[in-house]
């Protein structure tokens, strides 16, 4: 039995593993992300997007990790996420970023700290239900090259934003500022994406809001960070902007917080089968454009060995659905039943999208 990995410097005893897929939680890696944010861009308050990984200990460890007077907030996008967030922090330390609420989920006691909207429809819904709260207008960022292009679903044009502001003034709602999101995943210049979203789409609307509001406005730059994004390079230019700066990063915090161990359960002429698939944590293969890393090392009999020979093989998940496949992957030639694969940086948008199709669970135990 071997453990295949793309990582160096790991030490996992094979005899400590059982036949269940295993999570490895790396709390120091999670808190390192928080410390890096505080060190590089302390003028921007991050609200952790709990949809990226809603595990209780992740949320708690981030909220409890205070650096001087700097505290991480929580970005919520549903009633349930809001209720979960309030188990760890106060409503004042949250922001509701989903531009649309589900009307039948809202009752008279539900509260928003700040609500993001991007349409007249949502403003009319708030007004009809007598929900009074400060508002941020979500703008279309104009960025279309991210893996997950959120502009196809969310974000007002400048014309639409002006209409929202005018109606909000008529209905006596306070517009506190704007937000945008450059999209999730992909390799492109974050600096240029953020600058384009701000100067082309956000700034004209912020200037218009100032005609109605004398207070310091909020600029929410959204998310779109990779876990290894150089924050100072991407956002150092925002330090002197005349706004209260906030953000809603998810992947940046959660991605390096977990590694995933999966086991080979079968090897046939069609390929290899593993105990995790697209209905489990590896749903990221389809949803998030994830690719399996090159497995360059192997732990065998307590020794780390290099791998030199590979073979292209189809990787299947454990369910009865033929959709449950990770496609062709370049794998070590001698990988076999019972061997393990250690996948690094698997904390973002993995367990959050998991279901138990066929009654088969995903990662069920924790290191």
- Which residue among 219, 254, 289 closes a domain? 254
Per the structure, the count of domains in the chain is 2
Q: How many CB atoms neighbour CB 363 within 10 A? A: 23
Please indicate, yes or no, whether residues 210 and 346 belong to a single structural domain of this protein: no
pLDDT at 20: 64
Q: Both 69 and 181 in a single domain? A: yes
Same domain, 199 and 315: no
Same domain, 12 and 65: no
Instruction: Output the pLDDT for position 22.
Output: 87
Tokens of 261: 């161990």
Question: Do 337 and 208 sit in the same domain of this protein?
Answer: no
Boundary residue ending a domain (234, 254, 274) = 254
35 shares its domain with 123? yes
Does residue 169 share a domain with residue 218? Answer: yes
Note the pLDDT of residue 146.
67
**CATH (domain of 92):** 3.20.20.10
53 and 199 belong to one structural domain: yes
Residue 71 phi, psi dihedral angles, 5° rounding: -125, 140
Same domain, 194 and 114: yes
pLDDT tens per residue, the chain (367 residues)? 899 999 766 655 555 565 566 899 999 999 999 999 999 999 999 999 999 999 999 999 999 998 888 899 999 999 999 999 999 999 999 999 999 999 888 876 788 999 999 999 999 999 999 999 999 999 999 877 767 788 889 999 999 999 999 999 999 999 999 999 998 777 778 899 999 999 999 999 999 999 999 999 999 999 999 999 999 999 999 999 999 999 999 999 999 999 999 999 999 999 999 999 999 999 999 988 899 999 999 988 888 899 999 999 999 999 999 999 999 999 999 999 999 999 999 999 999 999 999 999 988 777 7
Domain limit, last residue, from 235, 254, 273: 254
pLDDT recorded at residue 306: 92
38, 179: one domain: yes
Distance between CA 40 and CA 195 in Å, rounded?
A: 18
> 189 and 308 share a domain?
no
204's tokens: 């004209």
Range of the domain at 107: 27-254
The pLDDT value recorded for residue 18 is 59
Residues 210, 330: one domain?
Answer: no
Residues 133, 110 contacting (CB under 8 angstroms): no
CATH number for the domain including 360? Answer: 2.40.37.10
């Amino acid at each position: 039995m071997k453990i295949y990995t793309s990582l160096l410097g790991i030490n996992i005893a094979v005899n400590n593993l059982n036949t269940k897929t295993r999570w490895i939680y790396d709390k120091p890696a999670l808190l390192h992300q928080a410390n890096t944010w505080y060190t590089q861009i302390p003028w921007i308050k991050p609200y952790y997007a709990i949809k990226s990984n809603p595990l209780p200990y992740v949320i708690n460890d981030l909220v409890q990790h205070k650096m001087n007077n700097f505290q991480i907030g929580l970005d919520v996008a549903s009633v349930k996420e809001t209720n979960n967030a309030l188990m760890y922090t106060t409503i004042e330390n949250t922001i509701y970023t989903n531009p649309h609420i589900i009307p039948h989920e809202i009752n008279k006691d539900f509260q928003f700290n700040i609500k993001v909207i991007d349409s007249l429809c949502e403003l009319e819904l708030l007004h009809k239900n007598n929900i009074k709260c400060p508002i941020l207008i979500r703008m279309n960022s104009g960025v279309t090259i991210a893996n997950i292009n959120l502009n196809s679903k969310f974000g007002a044009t400048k014309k639409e934003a002006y209409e929202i502001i005018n109606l909000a003034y008529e209905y006596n709602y306070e517009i506190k500022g704007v937000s945008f999101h450059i999209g999730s995943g992909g390799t492109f210049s974050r600096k240029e994406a953020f600058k384009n979203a701000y100067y082309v789409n956000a700034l004209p609307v912020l200037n218009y809001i100032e005609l109605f509001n004398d207070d310091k406005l909020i600029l929410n730059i959204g998310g779109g960070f990779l876990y290894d994004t150089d924050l100072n390079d991407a956002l150092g230019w925002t330090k002197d902007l005349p706004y209260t700066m906030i953000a809603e990063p998810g992947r940046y915090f959660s991605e390096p917080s977990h590694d995933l161990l999966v086991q080979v359960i079968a090897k046939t002429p069609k390929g290899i089968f593993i105990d995790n698939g697209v209905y489990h944590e590896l749903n990221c293969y389809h949803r998030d454009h994830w690719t399996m890393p090159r497995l360059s090392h192997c732990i065998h009999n307590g020794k780390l060995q290099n791998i030199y020979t590979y073979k292209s093989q189809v990787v299947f998940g454990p369910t009865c659905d033929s959709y449950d496949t990770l496609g062709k992957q370049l794998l070590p030639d001698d990988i076999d039943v019972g061997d393990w694969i250690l996948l690094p940086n698997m904390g973002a948008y993995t367990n959050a999208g998991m279901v138990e199709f066929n009654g088969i669970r995903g990662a069920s135990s924790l290191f």
